[in-house]
Amino acid sequence: MIAVRLIDVAKMYRTARRQARVFEHLDAAFPGGASVGILGARGSGKSTLIRLIGGSTLPDRGKVRRVGSISPPIASGQAYHAALTGRENLHFVARVNGFDGEAATHFVARFADLEQVIDQPMSTYTRERRARFMFAASYAMPFDIFIADEALFGGEGAFRERCSELVQARRAQSTLIFTTRSPQMMRRFADIGAVLHGGRLYTFPNVGDAIRAYLSIDRNAPPDAGGMPDDEEHEERSIEEPFGPLV
């Protein structure tokens, strides 16, 4: 079964100075139940692809078909209102998607250790608490498809470890589609590799083949056996975050 299918998608961005043609005839299919990691250099359109899949941007032409419910990108805070409490925000997102808000709240409070602040407005959260809330909330509901743009897990210390285990657990239950520039992340979390290059998506059943193909294209890619690439990724994500961090 195919969870997400893109058919002849074209997408262009207009800015005041120039037009950027991101995709012209993009076709792609993501099988259900698998974890697909998408490698791509800077500016290859990874974020646009994730936004197209998640429906946060619409294609100029072509179709995006999804089967089942889809999560907002992992750790995106756009749906949360700073004046509402964590509980209220979770209830809203759960209600919109037809899930159990109380169960999600319970999960986030326990998992991210936020029992004391879950009923406080989110504007009062510290930076670290906010990050923990975002990541825990992203995985708190049983979506059929999870999507992530660079950031799959985050936070600090023990939470970071538990969060990465949580990603592995969700990956076993649902479809996961994520982009990354790190071969190490591919090895850890992907079942199927894909490389986005020149407006086309090349899929490799073997993750190693995808990494080799990517390294041959992108000379600036981080080396395969680096330390922890996630911090650098997190910074890159906040730069690329088009709507800014949660106020």
Judged by the rule CB under 8 A, the positions of this chain that interact with other proteins are 1, 54-58, 60, 66-70, 72, 76, 78-79, 81, 83-84, 88, 92-93, 95-98
CB closer to other proteins, 78 vs 168: 78
CB closer to other proteins, 143 vs 189: 143
Q: Which of 216, 225, 147 is nearest to 182 (CA)?
A: 225
Closest contact distance (angstroms) between CB of 81 and other proteins is 7
Closest contact distance (angstroms) between CB of 74 and other proteins is 13
| Contact (Cβ atoms closer than 8 angstroms) between residue 138 and residue 162 | no
Closest contact distance (angstroms) between CB of 116 and other proteins is 21
Helix (H, G, I), strand (E, B) or coil at 101: helix
CB atoms closer than 10 angstroms to residue 112: 24
CB closer to other proteins, 69 vs 164: 69
How far out from the chain centre does Cα 188 lie?
A: 15
Question: Residue 142: what residue type?
Answer: P
Quickly list H helices, the chain.
46-54, 86-97, 101-111, 127-138, 157-173, 183-189, 207-217, 230-240
Closest contact distance (angstroms) between CB of 137 and other proteins is 12
Closest contact distance (angstroms) between CB of 243 and other proteins is 8
CB closer to other proteins, 95 vs 110: 95
Residue 136 to residues 1, 6, 182, 244, Cα–Cα distance (Å): 28, 29, 22, 20
Closest contact distance (angstroms) between CB of 13 and other proteins is 12
Q: Is the dihedral of CA 85, 88, 91, 93 positive or negative?
A: negative
Closest contact distance (angstroms) between CB of 95 and other proteins is 4
CB closer to other proteins, 88 vs 150: 88
CB closer to other proteins, 48 vs 184: 48
| Contact (Cβ atoms closer than 8 angstroms) between residue 130 and residue 137 | no
DSSP string over 189-246: H-SEEEEEETTEEEEESSHHHHHHHHHHH-TTSPPTT-S-THHHHHHHHHHH-TT-S-
CB closer to other proteins, 54 vs 155: 54
